[in-house]
Chains A and B, each alone.
Chain A
Amino acid sequence: MLALAVRRLAGALPTLLAIVAVAFFLMRLAPGGPFDQERVLPAAIEANLRQTYHLGDPLMTQSARYLGDLLRGAFGPSFKYQDFTVTELIWGGLPASLTLGLGAMVIAALAGVWIGLVAALKRNSRLDHAVMAIAMTGIIVPNFVVAPLLTLIFGIYLHLLPVGGWRSAAHAVLPIVTLALPQIAIIARLTRASAIETLGSPFVRTARAKGLSERRVMTHHVIKPALLPVLSYLGPATAGVLTGSVVVEQIFGIPGVVRYFIQGALNRDYTLVMGVVILYATLIILFNLAVDLLYRVLDPKLRTP
């Protein structure tokens, strides 16, 4: 197991390197630079700035220096937020982004599985059809529509929750719900389908035949195999939540990491954009690895004797 983890981590390194390279050269290919602004800088100042940040060097030298910095764990200084390093900026935004992302993932997993199991147990009932229709809508309606709607209903009409900012727990409710809803819908559909398949399998019939209570059949025989496909969906789900947080952080005005990304790309803040891309790519890779390993522990068919 440990050997496998190490092997997979080693396999992830070239991927990460490729991501760094593509992002680095794409950003440098862009027309314009970080010091272009409305007020044209005197040539001497601009030359000085470019020299300070080594922008005059050949691209290969620049990329080699950047890689060297990365290996020492430094993302370099931000080009736009002077006096801040990218690491500081990311650390500043990470608590909000992590609360949002992890909160959404936990809620999505719990609610999605629960709804899916209930729908599977009562399959083809009116409840099942209603729940699955709602889930389909949840998948279809994009989060940039859901977010303003929730704001309108709970913030403006009902005055129940704050609609923006990041000061108290109440501020986190609407953003987390917005992020979680589509994932709840997908996980509920997945759970339902796989639970129905499991319920029809021979070992469940055996369990019932030997007289186990319906409850015990569920807890001891159905839930674990039914959850395996859900587990393997958690990787794509993280990617989905990360993508969604681009919109959610913007709409709800949350001081997270992602808001730096779009602003940074528009400002040609090379190091900041690279920092966010590397952070998120690493998160996705690590999470996929964790899910993979967990899958091997839980699925008896993949267990090595």
Chain B
Amino acid sequence: MTELAAQSLDTAAPRGRSLGRDALRRFAANRAAMAGVAVLIAIALSALAVPVLSVHGRDEIFWDLIGAPPELSGWHPFGTDSNGRDLFVRTLHGARISLLVGIVATLVSLVIGVSYGAVAGYLGGRVDAVMMRLVDILYALPFLFFVIILMVVFGRSILLIFVALGAVEWLDMARIVRGQTLSLKRREFIEAARALGVPRLTIVRRHIVPNLLGPVVVYATLTVPRIILFESFLSFLGLGVQEPMASWGVLISEGAKAIDTAPWLLLCPAGCLAATLLALNFIGDGIRDALDPRDR
């Protein structure tokens, strides 16, 4: 009955203009989104390559260049920090952490949110009411405080950051997925699957979830920047990544302390953070517009 499902989807879309290709064409026409992709690829590639290609080490100290402003001749494009470490290399190492946290925590929220929302929406009735009431209650919690308590209480490991941030961000995803599931489950191919006697959880897994991908992808791209921001916020407060590891929040926090003597220590990492967040937001908006059939 997978073929059956595929067939009914096929007839829904007009021939010769597949949804995917159409969306891709519209995405490519969106200049802001393409610029976002370019910026993001540049930052991600540099972050990936920095341990291999960089001239300086992450913790290498230049004793004669303590807190030096940016200069290109000695290969310190962002200058050095108050301990004499090259800021450019540290910023790229920060990019590794920030991007990693953003992606992994988003995946955590994705897995929880999609399965929770799809099950609640598909089962419906009392199960749905109880599950969504729980989400409502969780919404009212001051989450920041709980994440902070978690970080303080259980020590500051990166693993915990993933779990804590993912666990906070799944609520919206669950709501969106539930709403989509409610409208999907009345479609013919689901009815067909049910008539063939497919177990309920298999229907959720094989037929509901794959058809949710559009809105889920859009929402996930918009979750990544929020999580990166949240991680920087925790690190800024001293509750996230710890020295000598660098994340953008750590670097910004150090820069904020030296703002009057060495403004580049704040401006360079903050600029990278802002560029990444902006790029991710443009990409998310671009994907949403590309998938939105109302524009056709």
* Residues of A that sit less than 8 Å from B by CB: 12, 14-15, 18-19, 22-23, 26-27, 29-31, 136-137, 140-142, 144-145, 147-149, 151-152, 156, 239, 242-243, 246-247, 250-251, 261-262, 265-266, 273, 276-277, 280-281, 284-285, 288
Knowing that A152-B259, A242-B142 touch, tell me 4 more A-B residue pairs with CB under 8 angstroms. Answer: A140-B225, A141-B270, A265-B153, A277-B142
B140 touches A15 (CB 8 A): yes
The CA-CA distance from A141 to B150 in the complex, in Å, is 26
**Interface presence of B260 (CB below 8 A):** yes
- B137, B236, B239: the one contacting A144 at CB < 8 Å is B236
Q: Which residue of B lies closest to A283 (CB)?
A: B142
Residue of A nearest to B228 (CB): A142
Q: Bound state CA distance, A238 and B237, in angstroms?
A: 20
* B152 & A30 in contact (Cβ 8 Å cutoff): yes
Question: Measured between alpha carbons, how far is A251 from B266 in the docked complex, in Å?
Answer: 14
**Interchain CB contact under 8 A, A140 and B277:** yes
> Does the CB pair B153–A19 fall under 8 Å?
no
CA gap between A124 and B167 in the complex, in Å: 40
Option from B140, B146, B232 in Cβ contact (under 8 Å) with A23: B146
- Cβ 8 A contact of B152, one of A144, A251, A265: A265
Q: Which of B225, B249, B259, B270 contacts A156 (CB 8 A)?
A: B259
B278 contacts partner chain A, Cβ-Cβ < 8 Å? yes
- Contact string, B268-293, partner A, CB cutoff 8 A, digits 1/0? 00100110011001000000000000
Tell me which of A12, A144, A277 has the highest count of chain B C-beta atoms within 10 A of its own C-beta.
A144
Q: Which 3 A-B pairs have the closest CB atoms?
A: A30-B153, A148-B256, A265-B152
On chain A, the residues within 8 Å of B281 by CB distance are 136, 140
Q: Is the CB of A280 within 8 A of B145?
A: yes
Enumerate B60-96 residues with CB–CB distance to A below 8 Å: none
Residues in B112-160 with C-beta less than 8 Å from chain A: 137, 140-142, 144-146, 148-150, 152-154
- Interface residue tally for chain B (C-beta within 8 Å): 35
**C-alpha gap A142/B237 in the complex (Å):** 13
Contact across chains for A262 and B142 when beta carbons are under 8 A apart: no
Q: When each residue 221-246 of chain B gets 1 if its CB lies under 8 Å from chain A and 0 otherwise, what string results? A: 00001000100110011010000000
| Complex Cα gap A42–B153 (Å) | 25
| Contact flag A136-B142 (CB < 8 Å), given A23-B149, A144-B233, A265-B152 | no
B141 touches A281 (CB 8 A): yes
Cα–Cα distance between A142 and B228 once the two chains are bound (Å): 11
Contact A144 B252 (CB under 8 A): yes
CB distance from A86 to the nearest CB of B (A): 15
| Binary A-proximity of B24-58 (CB < 8 A = 1, otherwise 0) | 00000000000000000000000000000000000
Please measure, in the bound complex, the distance between the C-alpha atom of A265 and the C-alpha atom of B146, giving whole angstroms: 11
Given contacts A246-B144, A261-B145, contact A152 B152 (CB under 8 A): no
In-complex Cβ contact of A140 among B145, B153, B274 (8 A): B274
Partner of B260, one of A27, A152, A250: A152
On whether the beta carbons of B236 and A26 are closer than 8 Å, the reply is no
- Is B137 touching A15 in the complex (CB atoms < 8 A)? yes
Q: How far is the CB of B279 from chain A (nearest CB, A)?
A: 10
Q: How far is the CA of A225 from the CA of B260 in the complex (A)?
A: 47
B214 close to A (CB within 8 Å): no
List of B residues within 8 angstroms of A246 by Cβ: 144, 148, 237
Chain B residues whose CB sits within 8 angstroms of the CB of A147 once the complex forms: 256
Asked if A247 contacts B236 (CB within 8 A), the reply is: yes
Tell me, yes or no, whether B255 is within 8 Å of chain A by CB: yes
> By the criterion CB–CB under 8 Å, are B273 and A145 in contact?
yes
| B140 contact from A29, A142, A251, A288, Cβ within 8 A | A288
What are 15 pairs between A and B in contact, CB < 8 Å?
Answer: A12-B140, A19-B142, A22-B141, A30-B153, A30-B154, A142-B229, A142-B273, A144-B252, A145-B256, A239-B142, A246-B144, A247-B233, A262-B148, A262-B152, A281-B142
* Residue contact A140 to B266, C-beta cutoff 8 Å: no
Instruction: Please give, as numbers and ranges, the residues of chain B lying within 8 Å of A31 by CB-CB distance.
Output: 153
CB of B253 within 8 Å of the partner chain: yes
Whole-angstrom distance between the alpha carbons of A288 and B140 in the complex?
9
B253, A281: Cβ atoms under 8 Å?
A: no
- B144: A residues at CB distance < 8 A: 242-243, 246
Question: Any chain A CB within 8 A of the CB of B263?
Answer: yes
Are A19 and B141 touching (Cβ within 8 A)? yes
Q: For B238, give the chain A residue with the smallest CB separation.
A: A262
Complex: chain B residue closest to A265, CB-CB = B152
A142 surroundings in chain B (CB, below 8 A): 229, 232-233, 273
Contact A27 B153, beta carbon cutoff 8 Å: yes
Chain B residues near A15 (CB-CB < 8 A) = 137, 140-141
Q: Which residues on A sit within 8 Å (CB–CB) of B278? A: 136-137, 140
Taking a contact as CB atoms under 8 Å apart, the answer to whether A265 and B148 are in contact is: yes
Contact status B252-A145, CB under 8 Å = yes
Complex contacts, B142 vs chain A, CB 8 Å: 19, 239, 242, 277, 280-281, 284
- Among candidates A144, A156, A239, residue contacting B253 with C-beta atoms closer than 8 Å: A144
**Cβ of A265 and Cβ of B256 under 8 Å apart?**
no
Do A144 and B149 touch across chains, with their CB atoms under 8 A apart? no
Give Cα A137 to B277, complex, Å: 10
A247 to B260 Cα, complex, angstroms:
19
**Considering only CB atoms, which chain A residue lies closest to B277 in the complex?**
A140
Chain B residues closer than 8 Å to A250, beta-carbon distance? 237
- Which residues of B are found within 8 Å of A277, using beta-carbon distances? 142, 145, 149
